[in-house]
Amino acid sequence: MSASVQDQMRCAVSVKDMATMCGLSRQRFAQLVRAGVFPAPLYDVVTHRPFYPEDLQTVCLEVRRRNFGINGKAVLFYARRAGTVTPVANTRKQSPNGDQHSEILVGLKALGLTAITATQVAEAVRELFPSGAASTDQSDVVRAIFLHLRRKNSGINVGNK
């Protein structure tokens, strides 16, 4: 296992992150899980969200390295095309003028929370992500805040445009 991949390993990763670590798309990774090439993820008891703990991450990376699935069959992986673009982490700095949650606000309004304010979004971010949401995927942040606000305040104007 290379040092860069080993540096990526964390206590738990999402299915999307595991696919990226293996150099595969989410769709291809899911196909190979269903075929028994890679192990299936574990599921969080509370949220029912799939994840790969460190030991399963090691198994997945070993399958990829050896081209030999956990089902006992050899598997061939295509090399990535030269022109493919790999996603780059968002390195933009949040603006100090309180505009830091504007993308989340736009996403929530697109989901139908038309009466949501920046203050409500900021409070939800502080409550749900006490150590910050910068390392969390933007879509996961929007989803978590959407569900949180729906549960917390059913009086928010949803879908009434």
Out of 49, 66, 83, a domain closes at 66
Alpha-carbon distance of 117 to 138, in angstroms, equals 18
Contact 125, 101 (CB under 8 A): yes
109 and 60 both lie in a single domain? no
Structural domain of 47: 3-66
Number of domain units in the chain: 2
Answer for the pair 50, 16: CB distance below 8 angstroms, yes or no.
Answer: no
Which H helix or E strand runs over 137?
Answer: none
Residues above pLDDT 90, as percent of the chain: 37
The pLDDT tens digits for 77-111 are 876 665 555 666 555 554 444 466 788 888 888 88
Range from 19-23, 61-65, 85-89 carrying the lowest mean pLDDT: 85-89
| 159 within a domain of the structure (yes/no) | no
Distance from C-alpha of 129 to C-alpha of 93, rounded to nearest angstrom: 18
60 occurs within a structural domain: yes
CATH number of the domain at 58, please.
Answer: 1.10.1660.10
The pTM of this model reads 0.47
pLDDT at 44 over 80: yes
